[in-house]
Each structure stands twice: as structure tokens, then as C-alpha cells.
A and B are shown apart, each in its own frame.
Chain A
């Protein structure tokens, strides 16, 4: 069975038909071709599918697509600015080696983004807390935590330069 859905995705209005049983993850990946959001478990255990819903980190595998009605969804693709400029969080992950196989990275990046929207200067403890729903088998998390600390300072210095926050700054 299909139903109509209208929501904002990465800053643009999307109007589409979706299967009523589709998860937000299915709509993003199979319906809209945004395969940056990953499925690592399909059960809310790994965080690979993390996206922002009205600025908060949610598991796209646990949310029905229709629940996105009238909401603002941002995916990892939506953090990339004009001309392919990576966001501060994404750049910091690259620079600090926060992505190894990279399968957890989109979810990690989105969890970090949600955290920094809420707390621009989080303590290490706060960072680890924000990551407990995101599993990574490759890194041992240390370089990811370092990346998020770096992202926080990058964002602060960019904000200090009076620049508008990068895409996704408002979630």
C-alpha cells in the first residue's frame, strides 16, 4: 500500500509516494538513491543509519518513512556544501583518521553533527556518551573521538570568522 509523503530533505522539499511499511532508511536508500545512510543491523543497535530529524540524531531503520511527514531530515549527503565542500565534521574525520572501512562513518558523522549542534564544545565524556549508539569495529573509537574534538574547534573557529555555519549547521 502506498501513501503520499511531504517532508524536507537536506534543505529541499520532497513530495513522494512511499510504501506504508517502508522505513525511512528504505525511502532514503532505495526510494531516493541516497545510499550514504547505511544499514548495519536494521534493529537500532549499530547507529550506521543515523540521520538528523529536526536536528536530532535518529535511527532511520527504526523510523517509518511516513513519520517524516512535515519534518526536516538531513543525511550525510546533506552535510556537503556547494562545490563538494565537506563539513567541518567530515573534514575532521578525514584529517584524524576517523574513517577506516568507513561503513560506520556516515552514522558517526551524523551523531557528531547532532552533538555539536547541541553542545559546540563537548567534553570527551560527552562525546563518548553521544557515540554509545554507534558501533565501529575498525577504529577502537580513539581517532573518532579525536576527530569530533577537532570538528568542534574547526566549527568554533569558522563561526568566529563570521562565516555562516556549513550546510547542516541548522540541522
Chain B
């Protein structure tokens, strides 16, 4: 491996020029010849039996090519519990249920046709609260489960718990104990580019889907299963990932709208695009999972944690998407954030007639870290220990094995906490100071070496060198703006020994890229770079093996050419050729003869012998060598592949045990803020984020991830909430659903990176995509308590909630 040169330096993203000039093609922009536009009719009720659907008037509308319902199409099952259907037939279970769909020549005609579809319902009693849904006699959302077995109640059959140690004994031993109930809402991922896809069949019956997805290969599996259900056994799906207008978890599942596009494309024999507008996305795309969290923590006289008890209740809504699996990610912070000897974690997930939830950045971690970190401050107050001190006392350490069996490799949490305290000048302003000002801090822990939730947690990569010295990269993970492609570029440039602009990362396509489990769990850079490093090792070995024979000839040629007055080899990247040492007539070429592969090196696109002369003719451009390898009898081209599966364990969810990640990322955030006592408005004065990311690979992308995460954390803490009434979404637009703007993000932010050099990480790096938002809300909640003297335990902490907390009698 060559010495690191580009890793760790500021480098622009290769796709950015297309994005800023309007050339990047999002799903909105892709058009196929003869393409139709699909639109979907949704339920008018939260819970009702479908008695009759009359599509005749819609079919008669000029421009309409097809109208489909669950009654005239094959039943396509959706979701990991298989209890959802692309088009509902028996009954609707929430207000977003899909009951019919239209394909028409343009989106307006398709939407107009929807209004002409008549549906007769028999309205059923509905339930919108998970506690009520668990009561005996509550309306049953699913009479049978995904396998057709009768259900006993509304509980989602998902088990995830962890019990270690004697809880009652630990409680008795504790000098201080504090309990609290926290509530976090559904929020919308709010990708600026709304969701959509195009489905198209070829004449063989094979399917291509242009998708806004983060899991192209799992989507291929899901869609192939749909093809089977449609009677198209043996047919295949190719998933092509367009430029994503944001991901944030929305692309981790396959969605009913995608299956409906497939059904419409099959019915019409034409490509069909289904594209959500903003209101549809708010109403019909799964938001982030909400949760109610009960927590209790205790400590001894010195402030050492004695136990942590957490009970989570999730309103699952009508069907299971990934929201139902949030507890599997909560498990990590609950059992492993700070040293805590006794942990009891239980989760209950309950069907209701509400919307159902999917992944979003952090995936359960922010939900439960809000409770852990906020409650920890209250425990410190009860114990009379400084809030910073209690975090120091219980800080995680390298080498620790946590109750769930997470094996901590590198861990810089202590340095993160100290950095936050120092940058915020914590000691200088403890407590309230008359102006409703406060400071707060929160820590976090997240998977940093991918997170094993499937049997394979792997990523494949293909590196293909061509005659021009380009490194063509085929990687199955998804660039969604986070900077994955630029990070891959830097990693390959450094490890292989070429300039970054020679590394070309191709669009993700299941037909050309090797399998990847998906871009989630902050795993993109960790996985892609680890896979790339392995493929690079193989490439260099093969290249240098060929050099034993080819290099002497190439040097001789270069020397001959140069003597004849030709230009010396031009270093890659357009630097001026080096004319400093003209070759002497009797230059000795014996240095190149009889060399072993290990004597060669490749740097900045030039191949040379490590202890050879430092002359331009003794350094051969990579493309020359590659052509020499290619254009001869028995020629060869260099392509290498690697399939990297990280050293981690698939946890036993029922026991809540297993080392789910190859590495763990730590961090802390601290904030100083001021509250206006009249209006309850919060003004953030400054923010510090300190993260142990192992090693900074790509500083521009990393800053972008942390700052973007922080903005989402701020929205989660203060502004964002999907409001519902009887299952209907009340605020499906950006006027009523408030995202942070440049104005809310005006405060200064200090970014600190702690480099702990993780042994399993590429160049020592750990995952960093999600952590930015994990501790933001509790840091703000803790600062608010510091400023106001009261605890806010419900997100978002709006001015109304703040005023109510200040004066409970007021409203």
C-alpha cells in the first residue's frame, strides 16, 4: 500500500458539478419512451371493510390506459412480516391504504381518474392508541398474520429484549434512583426529492425498476418474489438506482407504490412512473417510528451507574415496516452507552390504525438516547454530582465488553466529552444565570463497523482497470449525497497509487454491481473502503507480477524514445513533465532486470522500481503498462473483485446479545441556549459536536454528515412532528411541518474529531453517517432543564410545551 496522500484532505464530490448545473437525473427527471404515469387511490377511512370498487367511470376517461384494484391483480405481499398487500382487498387498516391505481398518459389525467373511482366501505371501529390497542376487546387490526394464522391480539410478533443481572438487587443497592417517561413523535424524513420509481418489462418478461432505494439488492429479491406471485417464475428484476434526492432511511424498504408501478407496467405493457408529490409523501410514505420510553437509572454514592431499566412502547400503525425493528437498534445504547452492570430492556410493538413507520437516520438510537441522556442528567441532579462528572465516571473504555456482548475496540468517548466541555467553556457557566440561559450535553454510541441484522452483512466491489489507466468502480451501495463516491475515490487513489480523478465510481445497478446489503447503519464508507482495500491488494499483486517481465522492456522503450527527443512520461494529473535529468547515453538498465514483484511500486499513476533511479524514463505511466499487459498474445486485463463481510455477530434478539458491529462510534454534543420567557422560543447560542470516528477519511463529506445530522437533530428536538387525528395526517406540507431553515441554523458550531485509529476500519475509520443527530435532542433538553429548572420529556420541545412546563397552570 502506498502512503496516504488524499485520504484526510478536502476533496470535492465527483458528482457535484452535475448536481449544481441541473444535469443530475433524479427519478423526477428520468423519462422512458412511451412512459405512462401512475397514480394511487388511498383509503378514505382508517378501518373499514371494502364492499365494492367501481372503476368503470375512471376507465372511460380519455387518456387512461389501465385501472387496477386488488380484485383484478395478483396478490403481492409487502413487508418483512408479509401481512401487507400492494393493493388491499379485504379491508383497509389505515388512511394510507392503497385500494386502486391508474396508469394514464400524464399525471393530471391519472389523478383525475382517481376521483372517478367509487368505493363503498363498511366502516369499522378503529384504534389509534397503542395502549388501547392492547386492551381486551380492542378492534383487531389483523385477524390473521402474514402466514394466515389467527392472531391473538394486536401485538406485532417481534421479540427484542435484554435482561442481565438482578434488577431488584441493583435497585436496592442504589443510593439514588430516578425514573422518567419520554415520548418522541413520528417525524418525516423529508427528502427534498420525493419518492418515486419507474417499472418497465421487456419482451422476455424481465423487469427493470429505476428506484429511489438504499437497498438495490434486497429490492431485487423483493421484486423477484413479486414476479413469482404474478406467475412470472424465473424472470428477473434489474434495479437501477437513479440520483437520490435524499435517503435518510426512506429507501430501506420496498414500498407499495413500487409494487403498484410493477402491476401497472405489466398490465399496460408500457413503462410506468409513479411519483409522489409533497403532500402524498407526507400522507403516504412511512415516517420515522415514534416511541414512548419509560426509563429508570440508579447510581451509588460516587455516581457509578448501578442499573438501567428501559421499557419501550411503539405504536406500529397498521403494518410492519422497519419501524417495528427499532428496538433491535435501541439495544445497543441501552446496554452499552456508559458502563452499566445491570440492564433490563423490554419492548412492546402494537398494531393500530395509524400510519406505519420505517427507518430514519439513527434508527431507534435517537429515540432511546433522548431518554437515557436526559434521565442521566436528572440522576446527576438527584445525586448532587456534576453532570459532566457523572459522564466521566461512567465513561466507556477501549477493550470493554458490554452487557449485550459488544466488544469495544477503539473508544474515544472520554476525549469527546472533554472536548465538548472545553469548547463550550462548561465550567465557566454552570447552572442558571438569570437570563434563562443553560448548557447541556449528551453522549452517544452507534454502530461504526456496519450493523449485522441479516445473516450476510457484506459488500462486494469490482475494480476494473482499463487501457487509459482509469479505475472503474462497481459498488452496490448507494450514493445519496453523503459523499460515498468521493470517499471511495480517495481510498482507492491512496491505496492503489493513482490520482483521485482516475477513479470513476459507476452508477449503482444490480446488473453490474456485486451484492451489497444496503446503505444503512452508517456503513457505506466503512464497508466500501474495506472491500476496496482488499480488491486493491489483489490488483497490485497482479500488476506487479506482470511488471517483472514487462517493466524492463517499457523502461528501455521510454529511454529510447526520450533519447530520440520524445517527451518524457507525463505524470498523471497534467503536471509539467520533468526534464531535469536527461538520460545519459549509457544509462544502466540493469536495475529493471530480474526484479521480484515486491520491488515495484505504483504512485500517482506511475509504476517504478522502489530503489531504481529517480529519472522520468524510469517511471512508466500505469496506462502504458496496462496496454502492454493487454495488447499482446495471451494478453490480460486487470479486474479484481472483493467481497468483504465484517467481523461481527448476528445478535440473538430474544436474548439481546451479540457483538453486532465490527466497531463502535462514540460522540458527544454540547449546547448553550437561551429561552425567551415570554414566547417560549429557544435560541441556540452555540453548539459543539465531538465525535470519535476513528480517522477522518473525507473531511468535507464528514463535516457535511455531522452538520446535516445536527440540523435534523435540531428539527427533532424543537420543531418537527407529524400530527395526526383519527389516523389522518394533519400537517402534510412544509408550512405546517416545520423544517429547520438557514435561519434556525445560524448559530456557530464547533466540530471536533477524535481519531482513535480503529483496527477494523479502513485507514482506521469508523462509520459516521448517522451519529450527528443521535445526541442532539437530549443535549438540548438538558440545556433547557439547566435554563428553566424543569424537564421536558416530550419531543418536539415547542414553545407551547416550554411555556406549559414553566407554568403548568397556564393552559
Q: Residues of A at under 8 Å CB distance from B?
A: 29, 34-43, 45-46, 48, 75-77, 79-80, 84, 86, 90, 93-106, 109, 124-125, 127-129, 131-132, 134-145
Query: Can you list 28 A-B contacts (CB < 8 A)?
Result: A39-B277, A40-B192, A40-B194, A48-B192, A75-B22, A90-B17, A90-B20, A97-B700, A99-B13, A99-B20, A100-B708, A101-B191, A102-B19, A102-B20, A102-B243, A102-B245, A102-B481, A105-B19, A128-B742, A128-B743, A134-B741, A135-B734, A136-B192, A137-B190, A139-B707, A139-B708, A140-B711, A143-B707
Judging by beta carbons under 8 Å apart, are A103 and B26 in contact? yes
Kindly report which residue of chain A lies nearest to residue B194, judged by CB atoms.
A40
Query: Which residues of chain B are near A45, meaning CB under 8 Å?
Result: 278, 733-735
Quote the shortest CB–CB distance from A109 to chain B (angstroms). Answer: 6
Neighbouring A residues of B703 by C-beta, 8 Å = 97, 142-143
Contact A100 B734 (CB under 8 A): no
A40-B194, A97-B700 known; 18 other A-B pairs, CB under 8 Å? A29-B29, A36-B22, A40-B278, A43-B735, A45-B734, A45-B735, A80-B21, A84-B21, A95-B12, A97-B12, A100-B481, A100-B704, A101-B193, A128-B743, A132-B743, A137-B712, A139-B708, A140-B710
Contacting pair A42 B483 (CB below 8 A): no
At the interface, is chain A mostly helix, strand, loop or mixed? loop
Whether the Cβ atoms of B24 and A97 lie closer than 8 Å is: no
Q: Which residues in B have some Cβ–Cβ distance to A below 8 Å?
A: 12-13, 15-26, 28-29, 189-194, 243-248, 277-278, 480-483, 700-701, 703-704, 707-712, 733-735, 739-743, 745-746, 749
State the CA gap A96–B20 with chains docked (Å).
12
Kindly report which residue of chain B lies nearest to residue A147, judged by CB atoms: B20
5 smallest beta-carbon distances between A and B, as pairs: A36-B22, A102-B19, A101-B481, A100-B481, A103-B245
* B residues less than 8 Å from A145 (CB atoms): 742
In contact, A102 and B742 (Cβ under 8 angstroms):
no
Residues on the B chain within 8 Å of A139, using CB:
704, 707-708, 711
Q: Name the contact of A100 in the complex, choosing from B25, B277, B483, B746 (C-beta under 8 A).
A: B483
- Select one of A29, A48, A79 contacting B21, CB under 8 A: A79
Q: Which residues of A contact B23 (CB under 8 A)?
A: 36
Write out the residue numbers on chain A whose beta carbons fall within 8 Å of the beta carbon of B21.
Answer: 36, 76-77, 79-80, 84, 86, 90
Do residues B16 and A102 form an inter-chain contact, with CB atoms below 8 A? Answer: yes
Cβ A137 vs Cβ B191 within 8 A = yes
Cβ B742 vs Cβ A132 within 8 A = yes
Q: Which A residues are CB-close (under 8 A) to B243?
A: 101-102
Q: Is the CB of B13 within 8 A of A94?
A: yes
Q: How far is the CA of A39 from the CA of B734 in the complex (A)?
A: 13
Residues of B within 8 A of A135 (CB): 192, 734, 739, 741
Enumerate chain B residues within 8 angstroms of A95, measured Cβ to Cβ. Answer: 12
Residue contact A46 to B734, C-beta cutoff 8 Å: yes
**Would you call A137 and B192 a contact (CB within 8 A)?**
yes
Inter-subunit contact B193/A38 (CB<8 Å): yes
Bound CA–CA A34/B712 (angstroms): 31
Chain A residue nearest to B281 (CB atoms) is A41
Chain A residues lying within 8 Å of B13, measured Cβ to Cβ, are 94, 97, 99
Chain A proximity of B312: nearest CB distance (Å): 27
Select from chain A the residue with minimum beta-carbon distance to B244. A101
- CB of A127, distance to nearest CB on chain B (Å): 8
A98 contacts which chain B residues (CB < 8 A)? 20
- Do residues B734 and A138 form an inter-chain contact, with CB atoms below 8 A? no
Which residues from chain B contact A101 at a C-beta distance below 8 Å?
19, 191-193, 243-247, 480-481
Known: A102-B20, A103-B245. A41 touches B707 (CB 8 A): no
Q: How distant is A53 from chain B, measured CB to nearest CB, in Å? A: 17
Residues on A with C-beta less than 8 A from B28 are: 35, 38-39
Q: Which of B17, B25, B189 contacts A35 (CB 8 A)?
A: B25
Contact (A137, B248) CB under 8 Å given A97-B700, A105-B20, A106-B22 = yes
**Cβ distance B711 to chain A, nearest Cβ, rounded Å:** 4
Contact yes or no, A131 B741, CB < 8 A? yes
Is the CB–CB distance between A97 and B701 below 8 Å?
yes
CA distance A135 to B710 in the complex (A): 15
Across-interface contacts of A131 in B (CB, < 8 A): 741-742
* A41/B700 in contact, CB under 8 A: no
- Shortest Cβ distance from residue B330 to the other chain A in the assembled complex, whole angstroms: 24
Please indicate the chain A residues that have their CB under 8 angstroms from the CB of B482 in the complex.
100
Q: How far, in whole Å, are A143 and B190 apart by their CA atoms in the complex?
A: 20
Nearest-neighbour CB distance to chain B for A87, whole angstroms, equals 9
Query: A36-B22, A76-B22 in contact; A144/B734 too (CB < 8 A)?
Result: no
A103–B191 contact, CB under 8 A? yes
CB distance from B739 to the nearest CB of A (A): 6
Question: Which residue of B has the minimal Cβ distance to A102?
Answer: B19
Q: Could you tell me the distance between the alpha carbons of A73 and B381 in the complex, rounded to whole angstroms? A: 60
Q: How far is the CB of B213 from chain A (nearest CB, A)?
A: 14
Which single member of A99, A103, A128, A140 contacts B193 (CB below 8 Å)?
Answer: A103
CB-based nearest A residue for B702:
A97
Known contacts being A90-B21, A132-B743, is A42 close to B192, with CB within 8 Å?
no
Do A94 and B246 touch across chains, with their CB atoms under 8 A apart? no
Instruction: Contact check, A38 vs B246: say whether CB atoms are below 8 A apart.
Output: no
Please measure, in the bound complex, the distance between the C-alpha atom of A106 and the C-alpha atom of B22, giving whole angstroms.
6
With most chain A CB atoms within 10 A of its CB, the pick from B25, B190, B245 is: B245
Contacts of A79 in B (CB 8 A): 21
B192–A99 touching, CB < 8 Å: no
Q: Known contacts A128-B742, A138-B708: does B277 contact A42 (CB below 8 Å)? A: yes
Report Cα–Cα, A132/B734, bound state, in Å. 13
Measured between beta carbons, the chain A residues less than 8 angstroms from B278 are 40-43, 45-46
A48 to B192, CA, bound (A): 8
Say yes or no: B246 contacts A137, CB within 8 Å: yes
- B704–A143 touching, CB < 8 Å: yes
Contacts of B192 in A (CB 8 A): 38, 40, 46, 48, 101, 103-104, 135-138
Chain A's closest residue to B736 (CB) is A45
